[in-house]
Amino acid sequence: MESNLKRSFSSKLSQKSKRCKYCNTKAKHCCKICENKACNFHCYKRFLDGKQWYICDHCHYYDVKEVIEKQNEDDMTSSLVALRGLIVDNARLEDEIEENNIKANRILEKLSASEASYKESSESKSHMLSIEKVNNEQLSETYFAYQSALREKKRGNETLKEKLQKKMIEINQIKMEVDQLKGQESQFTNHISSLAEQSQSCIYSDKLEEILCQKCQIRVFGRSFLIQEPKKPSPSCNCMIA
């Protein structure tokens, strides 16, 4: 009985010795410094005296504690320096942000002023455009009225041209008649002169009636020589007026 207990206790001790000291998992390596069992996670090969040995984290920590602490101090100093630089940069950036905000506010003020002036100018321009539109409408009305008046004048000029052409035709006809009358007058004067030569010795109306008609007698001798008016024109008078 006692032997069985000893065996079970020794088996338990052997099983515990096979467990990792740090996480109670299955141990696979033995630390070179403290000779404790450890798993792959807490014990692995590290350099010691120029060689690689299985060393646990605990021993390795105390072995490299000074190095780690010095490294941490260096990191702390470098991080502090970087932090101070970041603080300085942050202050500089804040100043730049304030300057940019001031510039942005000035730009916004200029934009608002330019927008107001643009609105005023646009309103004035729209008012001027409306006035110009009204003026253009009035000008268009006057232009159309002027065109209609010009058309009427053109029509009147055409009618006047037609009338002038008719008058010119009438004048040409009158000129032709005048030329004909002039020719007849020359013929008549020649005829009268020839008849006057024939009737120089004839002063009686009976003889004149045989030679001249009434109008020719008046032209040659005057109305006082006529004793009586002839009933018929003289057949020997070849004047164009009888």
DSSP string covering 136-161, please?
Answer: HHHHHHHHHHHHHHHHHHHHHHHHHH
User: Tokens at residue 169, please?
Assistant: 């035709």
pLDDT of residue 104: 93
Question: Of 23, 44, 50, nearest to 32 (Cα)?
Answer: 44
Structural domain containing residue 24: 2-63
Instruction: Give a yes or no: residue 8 inside a domain.
Output: yes
Instruction: Give a yes or no: residue 135 inside a domain.
Output: no
Q: Count how many Cα atoms sit within 13 Å of the Cα of residue 210 in the half-sphere of its side chain.
A: 7
* Per-residue pLDDT in tens (0 to 9) along the chain, 242 residues: 444 444 443 444 344 467 888 888 888 889 888 888 999 888 888 877 778 888 888 887 776 677 777 888 888 999 999 999 999 999 999 999 999 999 999 999 989 888 888 888 888 888 898 898 999 889 888 888 888 888 888 888 888 888 888 889 999 999 888 888 888 877 777 776 776 666 554 444 555 555 556 666 665 555 444 444 444 444 455 554 43
Give CA–CA dist 105/228, Å, rounded.
131
What is the domain-level CATH number for residue 35?
3.30.40
Domain count, the chain: 1
Instruction: Give a yes or no: residue 132 inside a domain.
Output: no
- For the whole model, what pTM was predicted? 0.29
User: Tokens at residue 186, please?
Assistant: 């020359």
* CB neighbour list of residue 17: distance below 8 Å, 6 or more residues apart: 37
Instruction: Give a yes or no: residue 146 inside a domain.
Output: no
